[in-house]
Amino acid sequence: MIFRVIWFILWTVLWAVYFMLDGFDLGAGMLYPFFARDENLKKDILNTIGPVWDGNEVWLITAGGATFAAFPTTYALMFSYLYSAMLLLLFSLIVRGVALEFRGKAEGQNWGKTWDLAFFLGSFLAALLLGVAFGNIFKGLPMDAHGYHGSLLGLLNPYGLLAGVLFVLLFAVHGALWLSIRLPGIDKAKKASALAGRLWYPLLLAAAGFLVYTAFATHLYANYLGYPLLWVLPGIAAAAILLIKFLTLTGRDMAAFLASCVTIVAVVFTGVAGLYPDLIPSSLDPAYSLTLFNSSSSVYTLKIMTVVAVVFVPAVIIYQFWIYRIFGRTNTSGRAEKEKAAY
């Protein structure tokens, strides 16, 4: 029992960390064609995420690996039922990564525009699809003893799309705040901070709408009614999202970015706390929901994995901090030209 709960919590942490880290470079990618109007600014934006984006995606691999190892039944059925959606997500992430690496490999206006478009589309679709996927998990999938009865188009229901819009706006604000603390030059930083402030209003509207719609489309609030202490989680998310606006107005962009990090983590924990003990609820019959009890590995396997996690997860976190410290200084477009940077 205890090891299943531990891995449920760790599974949540891994997804929350992934969204927190990859969220800002997905957000920067979505803002890229609208924010960057000249080549130097485009290079500056790419240089803020170039050294770290692939390291951020390691957490996606880790979250997927943890799902496979700790909850193999959930992993198998999720990738079977949502195969088309998962492939679209994978292709969008591949396109984004290829665009980042290939854009600086040749000269020419058409070459740059092609990869700029690919970078934007890969970032936008990844953010949207992640939100749609989690929205449908919160809502529940149409599955029973005969299998899955849904389709790719069925995932694009109003609640799933609203969750996708929420993720897109969360990541867009997160990305703008990242640019405000990493772009060289006060004017560029202020421009990014102002953009985050403008995007905050639709984000607040989407978050409020999502919270209201959740009460009608899901059973997430049942846990909150049964365990009132859980309301601390959405309370933290609400406080953090309000704090973002206050901090941007007062010019404290680093603090606003940290508040955005807290917002994303708290939103993930809010949703998953409502799911417990389900991993993927069934919208047709609760008896066929996938839970941490009926889809987890053996207790012995979870014990071994816990020991491995205790050793290696802190090592990964330390390494991540080290990488961010090494690349703490943003390359300006001038330095990028001088050093022939790939980005």
Phi, psi for residue 147 in degrees, rounded to 5: 105, -150
Q: What is the dihedral of CA 312, 318, 322, 323, to 10 degrees?
A: 50
Question: CA-to-CA distance for 85 and 216, rounded, in angstroms?
Answer: 24
Q: In 218-252, which residue ranges form alpha helices assigned H by DSSP?
A: 221-226, 232-249
The DSSP bridge pattern shows strands 147-148 and 290-291 to be: unpaired
State the amino acid at position 48 in one-letter form.
T
Domain limits of the chain? 2-339
Query: Looking at residue 288, what DSSP letter applies?
Result: G
- Cβ within 8 Å of residue 284, ≥6 positions away: 142, 143, 144, 149
CA atoms within 13 A on the CB side of 207: 25
- Give the mean model confidence (pLDDT) for residues 87-116: 88
Residues 206-253 pLDDT 10s = 999 999 999 999 999 999 999 999 999 999 999 999 999 999 999 999
- Give the mean model confidence (pLDDT) for residues 299-324: 87
Among the listed residues 159, 170, 169, the one whose alpha carbon sits nearest the alpha carbon of residue 134:
159
Contact 179, 28 (CB under 8 A): yes
- Is the pLDDT at 105 greater than 70? The verdict is yes
316 or 32: which carries more pLDDT confidence?
32
Weakest mean pLDDT among 27-36, 98-107, 282-291: 98-107
pLDDT value of position 207: 96
Contact 99, 119 (CB under 8 A): yes
pLDDT value of position 339: 37
Question: 43: which 2 tokens?
Answer: 């290079």
pLDDT value of position 133: 93
**Coil, strand, or helix at residue 334?**
helix
Sign of the alpha-carbon torsion through 49, 53, 59, 60? positive
Weakest mean pLDDT among 16-20, 37-41, 98-102, 127-131: 37-41
Question: 287: which 2 tokens?
Answer: 């008896």
Question: CA-to-CA distance for 165 and 22, rounded, in angstroms?
Answer: 17
Question: CA-to-CA distance for 223 and 230, rounded, in angstroms?
Answer: 8
Question: 214: which 2 tokens?
Answer: 């959740």
264 or 339: which carries more pLDDT confidence?
264
The structure's pTM equals: 0.91
Question: CA-to-CA distance for 9 and 19, rounded, in angstroms?
Answer: 15
pLDDT value of position 329: 56
Question: 130: which 2 tokens?
Answer: 């992640």
Among the listed residues 179, 171, 233, the one whose alpha carbon sits nearest the alpha carbon of residue 206:
171
